[in-house]
Amino acid sequence: MGEDFFIIINGLAKIYIPIEFALEGTKEDVFRYREKHDTLLIPSSDPNVENWDFYETIDFNEETNTGNFKIRLLEARIEAKKGSAFGELSLITNKPRAATIVAIVETDWAVLTRKDYEKIIQPIEERMLNDKITFLKSFPFFQHLSKQILSKLTYSKKEIVFNRGNTVYQEGDKSQGIYLVYEGEFQVYKRWEIDKIQNYQRLGNYARKLMK
């Protein structure tokens, strides 16, 4: 449970979010996922066990050496730099911490107790959190999610600023996530082959003739 609010004075930390997903493949694929991603094991609530097993075998085919696995990990989503603040979600909602924060270099922190946080910062943080939730709610695919889940999602999102002329991604790039436009405008370009365009033009001309 949260009792303090943190601000980084100097240094760098990573914010790890609990994730759970299904993976189909071999056990080597399961361990390879951990090698390719910045992850931590989830601590166990059992005093005799340090961490939970990070995968569960749903079914496994001995002949093909493949199966379905449920993966549970803490995955790094955001780097918190000088001036970053966190810990407010647990203080506002009175729920357990929704993320794990790990200092990755020597880091100095300013710490506010719950009492000081509620007196000085909480009203501002609540307005900012509600603004973020309202923004997420404006997208149809988030509207069915509860306020609690959307609050946790605010830890997963990363704010990026693009200047005029910057390319967000190019056709054919590997997907790294989804982009939600908070402010501004973007142009979307699609690569077309000339012969396909000519075929579409011919179809369009033919359709117009039929309509006459």
Distance CA 151, CA 79 (A): 18
Q: Is the pLDDT of residue 79 over 80?
A: yes
Give the residue extent of every domain in the chain.
4-27+36-41+50-156
Give the pLDDT of residue 183. Answer: 86
Give the pLDDT of residue 173. Answer: 86
Q: Over the chain, what is the mean pLDDT?
A: 85
pLDDT in tens, 85-140: 888 888 888 888 888 999 999 999 999 888 888 888 878 878 888 888 888 888 88
| Helices and strands (H and E) in the chain: how many | 6, 8
State pTM to two decimals.
Answer: 0.59
Name the pLDDT band for 8 (thresholds 50, 70, 90): very high
CATH code, 4-27+36-41+50-156: 2.60.120
pLDDT in tens, 55-69: 988 888 888 889 899
Q: Which residues contact 193 (CB under 8 A, 6 or more apart)?
A: none
